[in-house]
């Protein structure tokens, strides 16, 4: 049986002030490193231009900003959120963006720990959060998010804020609804919530938390979108009837930074449009992964369900830039907490996300990704290959006989889970947050 990395905090109770100081020093070093690297924070400049276009009453989807001639790709609601960026000067905006994203790193880590190990005491939660945040800020997706001034951390925090609420919370669903109104990919979490909720409803005909959260998220998304239709009718019509379907507007599919299935196939096939191959592959992989996520949700293993759903969205999206993969943070925490031999699983996965390996291949503006060799293809597909291997490992361990050690409630890629097997009938879907402390003897009792 494994010893949870998070539960080890009781064995070596590092002072909270020490953990906070280490985190602060790591963030300070990170800030200096980004300044020395002369990061351009390109995307936050585009966000600012979108806010300025709204204030000027211009055409959002005809706008072009920065030397890279970038246009808007999000729904029009996002531009309304970016208006405050226009109220301060550019240097201050960049400082606030970096500082805000560093705070969001802490928030993402804390919510991820709460998702994986909800029974940690408050002191242990903060101690673990600071130690982990000090390390994960150096992962490539986090580094690149801050380099561009992206909103990925905000989206992930909004989703996890919903999914770590207490059962019965009337606010659960607000974050996912707003996140989907800003960027459509979080909508896959609504699918997870709805399917799991309907399956539970079919068993006992009761209005459960999954359905409640899905309904709230859907209502918030629709209400927000309709309000924006009233406020920005022309931009809304243009996005929902045309821009939404222009996948090439976001960038070239074969770019190394695109870590979705479509990007992998584009580089493998030496084309900028893998067409039907991408659609079929994404549908098959997405369908299998969502079945895994739903079954985990029905077992009450919310952490696995959420992580699998997040990476499914990244894999099947037409474009998933490397900085979108900040979901590596909850993945690494889940692996470190549950792996029977964490150094064999979480260690290599952490190395993948901290190695910047996808940038070791040629990626100049001349589009060299269309002529990659086999080794370069492997490096430029490192994120989807890693997560696919973890998903396959999880499925295989779930299918092993109950009597074997590996088959006793395994989690992601040989990690420890709830104790149900894939062949079991649907058990009671009791969220891990609500389970008796006796079911997790290594965790610190709830306060």
Which segment of 96-100, 204-208, 270-274 scores lowest on mean pLDDT?
204-208
Query: In the chain, how many H helices and how many E strands?
Result: 18, 2
* pLDDT at residue 12, as a whole number: 53
What is the chain's mean pLDDT, rounded? Answer: 86
Helix (H) or strand (E) holding 415: strand 415-416
**Pairwise CA distance, residues 247 & 254, whole Å:** 12
Name the token pair of 310.
């997040």
Within a 13 Å sphere around the CA of 281, how many CA atoms are in the beta-carbon half? 18
**Pairwise CA distance, residues 44 & 67, whole Å:** 13
Identify which has the larger pLDDT, 414 or 22.
22
| Residue located via tokens 């996002």 | 78
Determine the distance from the C-alpha atom of residue 429 to the mean position of all C-alpha atoms in its chain, rounded to a whole number: 24
pLDDT, tens only, 344-365: 788 899 999 999 999 999 887 7
**Nearest by Cα to 323 from 282, 353, 289, 349:** 353
- Phi and psi at 169, nearest 5°, equal -65, 130
The dihedral through the CA atoms of 124, 161, 286, 407 has a sign that is positive
Identify which has the larger pLDDT, 206 or 292.
292
Average confidence (pLDDT) over 261-284: 93
Residue 59 to residues 71, 72, 375, Cα–Cα distance (Å): 11, 10, 44
Average confidence (pLDDT) over 220-236: 96
**Pairwise CA distance, residues 224 & 402, whole Å:** 47
Report whether pLDDT(100) > 60.
yes
**Distant-in-sequence, close-in-space partners of 294: CB < 8 Å, separation ≥ 6:** 192, 195, 196, 199, 305
**Pairwise CA distance, residues 303 & 331, whole Å:** 9
Report whether pLDDT(420) > 70.
no
């Amino acid at each position: 049986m494994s010893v949870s990395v998070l539960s080890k905090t009781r064995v070596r109770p590092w002072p909270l002030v020490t953990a906070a100081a280490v985190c602060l020093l790591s963030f300070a070093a990170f800030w200096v490193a980004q300044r020395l690297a002369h990061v351009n924070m390109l995307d936050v400049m585009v966000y600012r231009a979108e806010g300025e276009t709204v204030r000027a009453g211009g055409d959002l989807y005809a706008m072009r900003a920065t030397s890279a001639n970038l246009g808007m790709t999000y729904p029009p609601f996002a531009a309304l959120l970016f208006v405050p960026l226009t109220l301060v000067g550019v240097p201050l905006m960049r400082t606030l963006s970096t500082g805000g994203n560093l705070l969001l790193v802490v928030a993402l880590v804390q919510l991820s720990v709460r998702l994986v190990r909800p029974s940690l005491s408050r002191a242990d939660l903060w101690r673990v959060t600071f130690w982990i945040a000090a390390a994960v800020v150096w992962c490539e997706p986090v580094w690149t998010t801050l380099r561009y001034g992206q909103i990925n951390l905000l989206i992930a925090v909004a989703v996890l804020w919903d999914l770590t609420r207490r059962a019965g919370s009337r606010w659960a669903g607000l974050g996912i609804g707003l996140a989907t109104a800003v960027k459509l990919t979080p909508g896959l979490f609504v699918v997870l919530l709805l399917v799991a909720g309907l399956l539970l409803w079919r068993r006992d005909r009761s209005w459960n938390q999954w359905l409640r959260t899905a309904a709230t998220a859907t209502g918030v998304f629709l209400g927000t979108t309709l309000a924006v239709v009233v406020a920005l009718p022309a931009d809304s019509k243009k996005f929902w009837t045309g821009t939404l379907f222009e996948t090439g507007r976001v960038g070239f599919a074969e770019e190394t930074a695109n870590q979705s299935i479509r990007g992998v196939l584009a580089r493998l096939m030496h084309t900028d449009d893998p067409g039907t191959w991408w659609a079929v592959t994404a549908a098959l992989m997405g369908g299998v992964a969502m079945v895994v996520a739903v079954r985990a949700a029905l077992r009450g293993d919310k952490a696995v369900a959420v992580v699998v759903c997040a990476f499914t969205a990244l894999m099947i999206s037409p474009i998933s830039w490397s900085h979108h993969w900040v979901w590596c943070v909850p993945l690494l925490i889940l692996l470190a907490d549950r792996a029977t031999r964490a150094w064999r699983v979480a260690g290599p996965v952490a190395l993948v996300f901290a190695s910047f390996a996808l940038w070791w291949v040629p990626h100049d503006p001349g589009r060299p990704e269309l002529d990659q060799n086999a080794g370069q293809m492997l490096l430029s597909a490192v994120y989807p290959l890693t997560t696919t291997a973890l998903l396959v490992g999880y499925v295989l361990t779930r299918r092993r006989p109950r009597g074997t050690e590996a088959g006793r409630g395994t989690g992601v890629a040989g990690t420890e889970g709830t104790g149900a097997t894939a062949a079991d009938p649907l058990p009671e879907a009791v969220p891990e947050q609500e389970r008796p402390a006796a079911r997790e003897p290594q965790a610190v009792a709830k306060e």
